[in-house]
Amino acid sequence: MDLGLAGRVIVVTGGSSGVGLATVRALLDEGARVATCGRDADRLDGATARLGAESGRLLTAVCDVRDPDAVDRFVRRAAEEFGGVDGLVNNAGQSRMKGLDDATPEDWRDELELKFAGVLNPLHAARPYLAASDAASVVNINAVLAKQPETRLITTSAARAGILNLSKSLSVELAAEGIRVNSVCLGLIDTGQWTRRHAAAGTGVSYEDWQAELAADRGVALGRLGRAEEVAYAVVTLLSPRASYITGTGIDVCGGVGRSIL
């Protein structure tokens, strides 16, 4: 099926690694033009080299999504070079392994800032361009934690719930401008986040065995962590103009983790 993304302009935050990188790759495969950002220039260069994108269809910029001016510059550059913006994927970020007793006030502030600025700054920057598109779509990368909190990730769970709530409001507010807003809620996806945690844990257990134990411990029905490519398919589907009647909802890509039916 032709997803109708060829020639479309999509902004993906945090595209130098993991889910963002897989999404950029899937969009380029569909013929889209993609702008992506991250904080680390070397990581972005490495991603560009791995993507080997056809010249002129990939734009990268060093940009922290918490900095509204930097995000404005990044999105404006993408719109000017590519002639507009049709889609936005708010993906940049990471989770914070903190519980009630070890989360400091700074942890709470930083986590809420990252999660909310990570959606609102790119949205504010892209909104005029999205409103001018005939197939505008915003996808917020979220986590199933938004619906089933984990106390060991208390700040992230609370922030994620807020973002799910915000996504619903945005879908209503922006419908009049023809902008659809949806979420993709992740379970445990095998990316840099988990390789870093495995290295930090220093258990001596192989990464494969550690992952299998993790999936069992967290009750992942499919018995394994997901792959970033498996998330990218869901994101690309929601970005497609063919999803024109889907807004204010979401897709869980989580291997059946947990028991929530919402």
Using CB under 6 A, list all residues that contact ligand NDP: 13-20, 37-40, 43, 64-66, 91-95, 141, 143, 186, 188-189, 191-193
Nearer to ligand NDP, 133 or 167 (CB): 167
Instruction: Determine the Cα–Cα distance for residues 2 and 105; give it in Å rounded to an integer.
Output: 48
Q: Which is nearer to ligand NDP, 135 or 146 (CB)?
A: 146
Q: For residues 159 and 179, which CB has a smaller minimum distance to ligand NDP in the complex?
A: 159
In the complex with ligand NDP, the residue whose CB is nearer, 95 or 237, is: 95
Distance (Å, whole) CA 254 – CA 239: 19
Residue 58: CB minimum distance to ligand NDP, A: 14
User: CA separation (Å) from 36 to 179, 213, 217?
Assistant: 20, 34, 34
Shortest distance in whole angstroms from residue 95 CB to ligand NDP: 5
Q: How far is the CB of 135 from ligand NDP (least distance, A)?
A: 24
Torsion, CA 242, CA 59, CA 197, CA 119, rounded to 10 = -60
Q: Given the complex with ligand NDP, which of 3 and 21 has the nearer CB atom?
A: 21
Closest approach of Cβ 244 to ligand NDP, in Å? 25
Number of alpha carbons in the 13 Å side-chain half-sphere of residue 7: 5
Q: How far is CA 247 from CA 83, 120, 140, 205, 227, in A?
A: 25, 18, 12, 43, 25
The rounded distance, in Å, linking the Cα atoms of 180 and 217 is: 36
Residue 197 beta carbon to ligand NDP: minimum distance, rounded to whole angstroms: 10
Instruction: Provide the pairing of β-strand 33-38 with 87-90.
Output: unpaired
Of 176 and 200, nearer to ligand NDP (C-beta) is 200
Select the residue whose beta carbon is closest to ligand NDP and give its number: 18
19 burial (CB, 10 Å; 0-12 / 13-18 / 19+) is buried
Query: Least distance in Å: CB of 251 to ligand NDP?
Result: 13
